[in-house]
Structure 1
């Protein structure tokens, strides 16, 4: 389960590096692609839940870092218009 970081550009133009304890984000996001806000949130929820479940399967407990990252994504995205500018995945690194 390699730790994975992915950098996004939010609809307001700011960039942020996000964290996953697993490479599962590579299944759901692709560098250079943009995602409408609702789709980005949906994919983020799937990614963080899968990552947390992988940690649970391996170590016996869910990953609080993955769930914390999801909380931060949900808080950040709450301020954006769902029909406005998309979220862009800039890069993914392991």
Structure 2
């Protein structure tokens, strides 16, 4: 199953590399797109369980990397809680 690597720019201009164990992330995020933080997190919360499920369907086990990546996104997003204009840029999806 092809994995997807992508980069995000957070409201403080920091850039991180992210991982999805499935191409299903492409159903949720678009490259070169800015998302309001709450919208981005809603998409991530929908995408990662689905990606883990696709791995489970194919290999018989869920990919713990999907849960780990979502937890990291949650941790980072919490920094900007209460910032009404906070946005996340999806720089690329490979």
What TM-score do you get using the length of structure 1 for normalisation? 0.93
For 1:46, the equivalent position in structure 2 comes to 46
Extract unaligned runs of 5+ from structure 2.
none
1:19 is the counterpart of 2:19: yes
Q: Secondary structure at the residue paired with 2:8?
A: strand
For 2:67, the equivalent position in structure 1 comes to 67
Q: Distance in 2 between matches of 1:6 and 1:49?
A: 17
CA drift at 1:85: 2.7
Q: Distance in 2 between matches of 1:59 and 1:43?
A: 24
CA drift at 1:84: 2.2
What TM-score do you get using the length of structure 2 for normalisation? 0.93
Q: Distance in 1 between matches of 2:33 and 2:45?
A: 18
Equivalent pair of 1:36/1:82 in contact (CA under 8 Å): no
Q: Distance in 1 between matches of 2:29 and 2:8?
A: 10
For 1:91, the equivalent position in structure 2 comes to 92
Structure 1 ranges of 4+ moved more than 6 A: none
Q: Distance in 1 between matches of 2:84 and 2:48?
A: 23
Q: Distance in 1 between matches of 2:87 and 2:51?
A: 24
